[in-house]
Structures are given as structure tokens and as C-alpha cells.
């Protein structure tokens, strides 16, 4: 697998958003950077040269995102008794 070069870039984000990002990263045992990358891939779709072809890591991230979406939907459903 090819090594993807990374570049440091700074953004001015609301404090509440950065706090939520860090908390989500801790919950998922990942980094805030990886969550931002996942979000960018979600918004931008496939980007040539990013090393995100059909690799195992990419597929795992896609499945994890789908799983979290399903879990979120189940958690918000009213309970039937």
C-alpha cells in the first residue's frame, strides 16, 4: 500500500465543535485527525492520490460509519412494550 503524505493545516473552529470532535475520537479510540479525514471523504467522495481505494482500512471505516448510523437510529426509536 502506498504511503500518503500528510500536510498540517489549521482551521479556526468553534470551541464546542472541537470539544465534540475530541470526545468522539476518544469514544471511537481514534484521533481527531482521522475523524476529520473520514468526514472529508464522506463529503468529497473518492479523491485521487489519497490512498483510499478499496483498501481494507477504508472499507472498515465505511462499515463502522454505517454501523454507528444504524445504532443511532435504533437508540432513538421509541421502545415498544
Is the pLDDT score of 20 beyond 60? yes
Is the pLDDT score of 22 beyond 70? yes
Q: Using H for helix, E for strand and C for coil, what is the string for 63-81?
A: HHHHHHHHHHHHHHCCCCC
| Domain range annotation of the chain | 15-76
pTM for the predicted model, two decimal places: 0.57
Question: Do 71 and 65 touch, CB atoms closer than 8 A?
Answer: no
Q: How many CA atoms lie within 13 A of 24 on its CB side?
A: 15
Average pLDDT, the chain: 81
Question: Could you report the per-residue pLDDT of 46-62, keeping only the tens digit for each?
Answer: 777 776 555 666 777 77
- The three cell numbers locating residue 55: 483498501
Question: Could you report the per-residue pLDDT of 26-50, keeping only the tens digit for each?
Answer: 998 888 988 998 898 888 887 777 7
Amino acid at each position: 500500500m502506498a504511503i500518503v503524505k500528510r500536510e498540517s493545516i489549521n482551521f479556526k473552529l468553534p470551541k464546542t465543535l472541537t470539544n465534540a470532535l475530541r470526545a468522539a475520537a476518544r469514544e471511537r479510540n481514534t484521533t481527531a485527525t482521522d475523524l476529520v479525514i473520514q468526514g472529508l471523504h464522506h463529503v468529497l467522495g473518492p479523491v485521487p492520490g489519497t490512498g483510499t481505494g478499496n483498501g481494507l482500512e477504508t472499507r472498515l471505516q465505511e462499515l463502522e460509519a454505517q454501523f454507528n448510523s444504524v445504532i443511532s437510529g435504533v437508540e432513538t426509536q421509541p421502545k415498544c412494550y
